[in-house]
Amino acid sequence: MKIGIVTWNSPERHKLFMEQAYPEMETSVVADSATDEEKIEACRDAEAIIMVAATLSVDVIKACPNVKLVQGIGAGFDKIDVKAVNALGIPYANNGGSNAIPVAEFTLSLIAGLARGVFRGAQNAKDGKWNAGLRETPSWEIEGKRVGIIGMGAIGKRVAKMLTGFDCDTVYYNRNPVSADVEQSLQARYLPLDELLQTSDVVTMHNSLNKSTIGMIGKEQLAMMKPSAFIINTTRGACIDQDALYEALTTGGIAGAGLDVLAEEPTPSDNPLWQLSNVVITPHQSGISQEAVSRSAAFAFANARRAALGEPIHSLVTPE
């Protein structure tokens, strides 16, 4: 059973990832930074190709005649042309929610950190301004606040579940509302997007990136939000119009933002968002944890095995 692996992992994380491979698997590993020719050489005989936070061109897949599955280890699928892959008769699957726990935990960290002024206070203390702004700048409790979740997939559901411990008023927007049973178990209720934006104290984005969600939060949508509201983005930077966000953050349109993703990554040092004290920027790290590496690897190798054996594949992605 031959499996090609295109990876961006560090040596330590790669070792952790490879521990989940089945004994009968013959793996061929190539770095994400390799050329297409090198990737073809590594994956030519593979029955499945696993993308570990990597990119893969359709030309590489075309040159690998035995491939029955392209498997990603993230929830997103913007590093590959899924429609073109599907047109070759090859399915693409994502990680089946393997990183939902770390992303949801990270989201709650950003929400709490922004609302309570943790990041601002830590920086002030480090800069020798021990308690600067503590009385002048409000900090808010999360309990009793309305948190609006955009996107109710595996990650959105996990965020909603965690929020039950904060006694929030949890609302959500999704292209297709979840079932009443799921709503009841998560203590969440559906709202149209406009109403969610207008009434939420925190808006957190967990939708996928596609044609309909690129720039879905722009000047018009940000203008709907409360001046006291925060927005959190751990999905993809392109979902928010960055210029409109900067304007809203500098004119009092919204109170702050927690951004684990941005339109350009790595984010250049001259990005004006760096200069704002009401913004926290992290380097697309929310989905990374030791446990998630093992969990996503186990899922990826199991799915690759299913594909090689002709069994049903889990977590297939069908783009719009």
- Choosing from 26, 220, 264, 265, the catalytic residue is 265
Name the token pair of 267. 């984010």
**Helices then strands, each counted (H, E), the chain:** 12, 12
Q: What are phi and psi of 248, to 5 degrees?
A: -65, -35
> Per the residue annotation, which of 14, 120, 158, 236 is the catalytic one?
236
Q: Can 14 be counted among the known catalytic residues?
A: no
Structure tokens at 227: 């001046």
CA distances from 140 to 9, 24, 159, 230 (A): 38, 54, 19, 11
CB contact at 8 A, 80 and 51: yes
Cβ atoms 120, 137 nearer than 8 A = yes
Q: Two tokens at 225?
A: 């939000």
CA geometry: angle at 288 spanning 287 and 294, to 5°?
Answer: 110
- Could you confirm whether 120 is annotated as catalytic? no
Measured distance CA(294)–CA(139) in Å, rounded: 37
Candidates 284, 295, 305, 306; catalytic one: 284
In the block, tokens 């913004």 appear at 279
- Please confirm, yes or no, whether 314 is among the known catalytic residues: no
The Cα–Cα gap between 62 and 272 comes to 42
**Catalytic residue ranges:** 236, 265, 284
